[in-house]
Structure 1
Amino acid sequence: MKTLEKTSQSPTARVIEEFWNKDGFLDESMKMEPSINIIDRNGVYKIKVSAPGFKKKDFKVAVEDGSLIISAEKSIEKKEEKENFVRKEFSAFSFSRSFRLPENITLGHIKSNYKNGLLNITISKTNLDKREVKEIKIR
C-alpha cells in the first residue's frame, strides 16, 4: 500500500514554488553535459560530441598535461522593449570534459571538425611496433 506524503501547501502553491525554484534560468540544468561516444577503430580514436546549438567558434579543444580537454561556451542576450516595459534576459551555456590520453597517440595528428551539431575529434595512434627509442648519453 502506497503512502502519500502530507504537505501543508495547496497543489497550486507547490506548482508556483517549483516554477520559481526550479526555473531553467536558475538551476543546474544550464550546465549541460553533452553525450560523448569514443570509438577505437583502424588505428584511430574517434570522439563524437553531441552539442547542437553551438557554433564552431564556441569550442576549445586542447591537450594539457596528458589530457584531452573539450569545452564550449555560449551566451545569449535577448532584449525586448515595449511601451513602459523593458525586459532583458541573459543565458549562458557551457561545458567542459576531459579525458586522459593513452600513451599510444600522436599529438601532431589530432584533428577536429564541427558539423550539424556534432563535434568530431580524430586522434591517430602510433604504431607500437615502431616506437622510437632514443638513448640518452650519461655525462
Structure 2
Amino acid sequence: MHNSSWLPDVFEDFFNTGFMPRANATAPAINVVERDKEYTIELAAPGLRKEDFSVNINDEGNLNIKMEQKNEKKEEDKKAHYLRREFNYSKFEQTLILPDDVQKDKIKARVDNGVLYVDLPKMEESKTKVQRQIEII
C-alpha cells in the first residue's frame, strides 16, 4: 500500500484519532441561551467584523446565518523579483428553525468581542383569559 502523505505512518495514526480534532474543521461553535423574555444565539467568530455576516429570515420562516471572510496578504521581495500571495478564505452557513414564540419582526443581531449575538425576543403571553358560554346546538 502506497502512502502519499509526507508524514510517517506513526504520526498519521496519531493525528487521525478522536483525541485530536482535525485542523480543517472550521465550523464555529453555537450556543443558544433561553431567558424569560428572549432567546440569544451566540456564534464564536474571532477576528470577524459585522460586515462578514449576513443574518436573515428565509422564505420558510427560519433564521439563516451566513459568515464569509476573505483575507489576502501580499509580500514583495525586491531582491528576488517575485510576488508571494497568501489567501485565507472562510465560509459558513447555518439555518436554524425558530421556536413558534419568537417575534420575527423584532430580531436583532450584533458583533461584540469576536462573538455574533442574535437576540430573539419572545412573544408576550396573553394574560387575559377568555371566558365565554358555549352554546349547545
**What is the correspondence of 1:99-138 to structure 2 with a 5 Å cutoff?**
99-129=96-126
TM-score normalised to structure 2 length: 0.71
Give me the whole-angstrom Cα distance separating, in 2, the residues matched to 1:13 and 1:51. 32
Q: Counterpart of 1:23?
A: none
Pick which of 92-101 and 120-129 moved more: 120-129
Identify the residue that residue 94 of structure 1 maps to in structure 2.
Answer: 91
**CA deviation string 1:62-105 (max 9, x = no partner):** 01112101111110111111122321121101111110012111
| SS at structure 1 position matched to 2:126 | helix
- Tell me which amino acid in the other structure corresponds to 1:105: V
TM-score by length of 1: 0.70
Q: Which residue of 1 aligns with 2:26?
A: 32
Query: Which structure: greater helix fraction?
Result: 1
Question: Would the alpha carbon gap of residues 13 and 105 (structure 1) be closer, same or farther in structure 2, given more than 3 Å must change?
Answer: closer
Runs in 1 of length 4+ with deviation above 6 angstroms?
A: none
Quick one: percent identity of the two aligned structures?
32
Cα 1:80–1:118 shift into 2, 3 Å: same
Per the alignment, residue 14 of structure 1 pairs with 7
Equivalent of residue 72 in structure 1, options 67, 76, 81: 67
Aligned-residue RMSD, C-alpha:
2.5
Q: What is the match of residue 131 of structure 2?
A: none
Gaps of 5+ in 1: 1-6, 19-26, 131-139
**C-alpha separation in 1, matches of 2:72 and 2:50:** 19
Matching of residue 49 in structure 1 with residue 43 in structure 2: yes
How far apart are 1:28 and its partner, in Å? 7.8
Deviations 1:4-34 (A, max 9, x none): xxx877xx9425xx8xxxxxxxx982x6211
Counterpart code for 1:14? L
